[in-house]
């Protein structure tokens, strides 16, 4: 497909990297020539220097022929205007990054309709939602949701004393009877789609899929923490912090935000009257002690500086804070955070990239299914994809034991109306089902790709 990405910042670069990897024909546009030149040199893309809302620039980029136009510049108004112009010129689909709180709280639906936007992206809102979910299940390193949050995939790291270490997956199902499935295991650099004979070891990262209620019961049986945090300290007064604090405050949690910008602190205090907002430099240990870091249930680092988030998260962990969540956008620092013992790291940039990748791949989907959700998991070495099945799917009605699947591919869950199925060999895939597939080392465009021989 022909795709134009306007904005060559961190998020634009990440989106470009993902789309080029998907095999799309990408053109990048940015007002900064050096940023455009860098992406041209790094990837096989075309590039133009100029404003994404400039008519002549859009004409030169052939925006009217674009299958997808994505605008992720720093300015919301520029993104909206660029998408409007691209749409008027003939672009088939448009996606705009819209971050400002005012636009996202009441006006967004109206703006999408009037500007004919296919989608509005808000990295800060996505980050706030990610952290909120992680605080709900303190033992999880990652939580992904499917089928309108009726199915969850939770990533857990198995520590030395975990009772499941040494068990095969067959033994695990027998010991902890319930409707769940271990759908991937990351062991060192390897990602495995396991079968029942696979034995779990300490330090494995495992992905478990189940309904939310079943997940709570399973974690409790495995003696993993399921008690949600009641007191939360948030470092940084970012928009993500606002979205997170608002949701936590609504549930009656005790929330404290620390930020050194007095103007931002006043804004947050006005927006969140029930939340404690502290003006101060969170890098000063004395301030953190004074504000009670030792007694909180969770510490969340959401400043705009990755290094600061990592260092202060390590500090909180060493103080014994039970739950520490760290925002890291730079890919090269994610591994360092893990090496320092930070197990729960979120990346708004990656969340946005997953959304755009899913949308672009869904546009390529043929008859038989459509992509509803896509997550790149296990350090982006595997994918979890939710398909909605149409009547044209050639494997409909066939028992799963009779479907010949591609290697390293697993049907991990089926949602049928209000019913959640952890599939067995006797289950079938029917039109209208939402089917969750986990795969390593291959790209799925439609559900038929899971079958040996692929689509027909």
Q: pLDDT per position in the chain (456 positions), as tens?
A: 999 999 999 999 999 999 999 999 999 999 999 999 999 999 999 999 999 999 999 999 999 999 999 999 999 999 999 999 999 999 999 999 998 876 666 667 777 888 889 998 899 999 999 999 999 888 899 999 998 888 999 999 998 888 899 999 999 989 988 889 999 999 988 999 999 999 999 999 999 999 999 998 898 888 776 678 899 999 999 999 999 999 999 999 999 999 999 999 999 999 999 999 999 999 999 999 999 999 999 999 999 999 999 999 999 999 999 999 999 988 889 889 988 989 899 999 999 999 999 999 888 765 567 888 999 999 889 999 999 998 888 899 999 999 989 999 999 999 998 888 999 999 999 999 999 999 998 888 889 999 876 554
d(C-alpha 25, C-alpha 1), whole Å: 6
Q: pTM for the complete prediction?
A: 0.88
Instruction: Give kind and range of the element (H or E) at residue 376.
Output: strand 369-377
All residues at 6 or more sequence positions from 41 whose CB lies less than 8 Å from its CB, including other chains: none
At 145 the three-state DSSP class reads strand
Topology of domain 231-346, CATH? Rossmann fold (3.40.50)
d(C-alpha 186, C-alpha 384), whole Å: 14
d(C-alpha 70, C-alpha 3), whole Å: 8
At 373 the three-state DSSP class reads strand
Neighbours of 274 (CB within 10 A): 12
As given in the structure block, the two tokens for residue 307 are 């290094």
Residue 95's nearest CA partner among 107, 83, 113 is 83
d(C-alpha 326, C-alpha 434), whole Å: 32
Q: Say what the pLDDT of residue 103 is.
A: 62
Enumerate long-range contacts of 176-180, CB under 8 Å, 24 or more apart: 176/218, 176/221, 176/222, 178/210, 178/214, 178/217, 178/218, 178/221, 179/210, 179/211, 179/214, 179/420, 179/422, 180/208, 180/209, 180/210, 180/214, 180/215, 180/218, 180/422
DSSP 230: S
Residue with tokens 């755009």: 356
For the chain, the domains span 2-121, 231-346, 353-450
Instruction: Give kind and range of the element (H or E) at residue 192.
Output: strand 190-192
Please state whether 449 falls in left (phi above 0), alpha (psi between -120 and 50) or beta. alpha
All residues at 6 or more sequence positions from 270 whose CB lies less than 8 Å from its CB, including other chains: none
Domain 2-121 shares a fold with domain 231-346:
yes
d(C-alpha 279, C-alpha 266), whole Å: 9
CB 398 within 8 A of CB 429: yes
- Write down the H helix ranges in 256-412: 262-271, 285-290, 306-318, 331-339, 348-363
d(C-alpha 329, C-alpha 347), whole Å: 5
* CATH number 3.30.70.1450 is the correct assignment for the domain at 353-450: yes
Instruction: Annotate 295-309 with DSSP letters as a single string.
Output: G-SEEEE--S-HHHH
Q: Say what the pLDDT of residue 413 is.
A: 94
Q: Say what the pLDDT of residue 137 is.
A: 87
Residue with tokens 């909605």: 388
As given in the structure block, the two tokens for residue 231 are 């007191």
Topology of domain 2-121, CATH? Rossmann fold (3.40.50)
Strands (E), 61-174: 68-71, 94-97, 119-121, 142-146, 151-157
d(C-alpha 101, C-alpha 244), whole Å: 13
All residues at 6 or more sequence positions from 200 whose CB lies less than 8 Å from its CB, including other chains: 158, 164, 165, 166, 167, 168, 169, 172, 182, 185, 206
Q: Say what the pLDDT of residue 366 is.
A: 58
């Amino acid at each position: 497909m022909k795709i134009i990405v306007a904005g060559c910042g961190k998020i634009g670069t990440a989106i470009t990297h993902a789309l080029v990897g998907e095999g799309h024909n990408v053109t990048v546009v940015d007002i900064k020539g050096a940023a455009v030149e860098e992406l041209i040199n790094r990837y096989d893309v075309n590039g133009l220097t100029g404003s994404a809302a400039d008519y002549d620039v859009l004409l030169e980029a052939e925006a009217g022929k674009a299958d997808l136009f994505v605008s992720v510049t720093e300015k919301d108004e520029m993104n909206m205007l660029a998408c409007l112009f691209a749409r008027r010129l003939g672009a088939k689909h448009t996606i705009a990054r819209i971050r400002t709180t005012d636009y996202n709280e009441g006006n967004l639906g109206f703006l999408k309709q009037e500007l004919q936007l296919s989608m509005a992206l808000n990295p800060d809102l996505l980050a706030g939602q990610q952290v909120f979910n992680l605080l709900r299940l303190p033992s999880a390193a990652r939580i992904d949701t499917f089928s309108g949050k009726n199915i969850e995939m939770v990533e857990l790291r198995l520590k030395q004393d975990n009772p499941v270490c040494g068990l095969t997956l067959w033994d695990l199902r027998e010991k902890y009877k319930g409707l769940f499935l271990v759908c991937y295991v990351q062991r060192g650099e390897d990602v495995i789609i396991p079968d029942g004979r696979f034995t779990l070891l300490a330090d494995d990262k495992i992905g478990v899929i189940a309904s939310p209620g079943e997940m709570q019961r399973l974690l409790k049986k495995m003696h993993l923490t399921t008690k949600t945090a009641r007191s939360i300290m948030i470092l940084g007064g970012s928009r993500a912090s606002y979205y997170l604090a608002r949701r936590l405050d609504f549930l009656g949690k005790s929330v404290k935000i620390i930020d050194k910008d007095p103007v931002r602190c006043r804004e947050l205090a006005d927006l969140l009257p029930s939340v404690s907002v502290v003006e101060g430099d969170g890098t000063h240990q004395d301030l953190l002690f004074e504000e009670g870091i030792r007694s909180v249930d969770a510490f969340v680092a959401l400043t705009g500086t990755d290094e600061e988030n990592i260092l202060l998260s390590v500090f909180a962990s060493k103080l014994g804070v039970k739950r520490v969540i760290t925002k890291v956008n730079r890919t090269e620092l994610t591994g360092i955070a893990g090496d320092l013992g930070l197990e729960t790291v979120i990346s708004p940039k990656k969340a946005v990239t997953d959304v755009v990748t899913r949308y672009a791949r869904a546009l390529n989907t043929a008859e038989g299914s459509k992509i509803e959700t896509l997550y790149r998991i296990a350090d982006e070495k595997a994918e979890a994809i939710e398909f909605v099945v149409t009547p044209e799917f050639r494997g409909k009605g066939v028992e799963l034991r009779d479907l010949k699947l591609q290697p390293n591919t697993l049907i991990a869950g089926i949602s049928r109306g209000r019913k959640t199925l952890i599939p067995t060999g006797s289950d079938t895939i029917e039109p209208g089902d939402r089917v969750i597939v986990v795969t390593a080392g291959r790209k799925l465009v439609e559900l038929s790709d899971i079958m040996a021989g692929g689509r027909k």
